[in-house]
């Protein structure tokens, strides 16, 4: 097989074709990028129970600083243990009740919606909650979209589990907020 140099005049067409192909690839890569990957890390920490590591958590924001209610923000939880969807839902409901987040009907409705979105998680799985600049929440699992929560009150309620002053683990809250 021998290579032939294209005639003079065809290089412009080839370079145009290559430029279009590069633009198409760049667009596909950008479209497949999860939206929180454009954000900056605020802080990270580990949640343990007794001597068992449960997960690592990282908070992201546009500025790289924690600003309550200012979106976009994202919280990624990378699990160290396998946890069933039912256990995730039960703990979420317990934390909302303990924190006094929402009313009983809201919490029940949110948990029903989450039951349709959340999977069982395995060790190494990452579940990300992304709040867009309009303040609506979206869940991603293994960097693939799971679905959205249409209630504009949900993002603050969900993030409160980790970021509220009276969270279950104040040291983790401080680390996520980027505080000493």
What's the total number of domains in the chain? 1
61: in domain: yes
96: in domain: yes
- Write out the DSSP string of the chain: ----PPPTTSHHHHHHHHHHHHHHHHHHHHHHS-GGGGSEEEEEEEEEETTEEEEEEEEEESSSS--TT-SSEEEEEEESS-B-HHHHHHHHHHHHHHHT-S-HHHHHHHHHHHHHHPPPB-TT-EEEEEE-TTS-EEEEETTEEEEEE--TTHHHHHHHHHHSTT-S-HHHHHHHTT--
Per-residue pLDDT tens for 138-164?
A: 999 998 999 999 999 999 999 999 999
17: in domain: no
Domain range for 105? 35-176
The CATH number given to whatever domain includes residue 90 is 3.50.70.10
Per-residue pLDDT tens for 36-67?
A: 899 999 999 999 878 889 999 999 999 999 99
Per-residue pLDDT tens for 84-104?
A: 999 999 999 999 999 999 999
């Amino acid at each position: 097989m021998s290579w032939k140099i294209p005639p003079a005049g065809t290089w412009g067409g080839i370079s145009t074709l290559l430029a279009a192909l590069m633009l198409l690839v760049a667009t596909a890569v950008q479209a497949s990028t999860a939206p929180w990957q454009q954000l900056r890390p605020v802080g990270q920490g580990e949640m343990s129970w007794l001597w068992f590591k449960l997960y690592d958590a990282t908070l992201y924001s546009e500025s790289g600083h924690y600003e309550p209610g200012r979106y976009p923000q994202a919280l990624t939880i990378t699990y160290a243990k396998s946890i069933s969807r039912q256990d995730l839902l039960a703990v979420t409901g317990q934390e909302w009740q303990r924190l006094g987040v929402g009313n009983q009907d809201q919490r029940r409705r949110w948990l029903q919606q989450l039951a349709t979105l959340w999977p069982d998680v395995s060790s190494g799985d990452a579940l990300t909650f992304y709040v867009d600049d309009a303040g609506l929440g979206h869940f991603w699992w293994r960097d693939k979209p799971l679905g959205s929560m249409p209630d504009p009150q949900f993002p603050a309620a969900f993030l409160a589990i980790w970021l509220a002053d009276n969270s279950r683990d104040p040291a983790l809250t401080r680390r996520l907020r980027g505080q000493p």
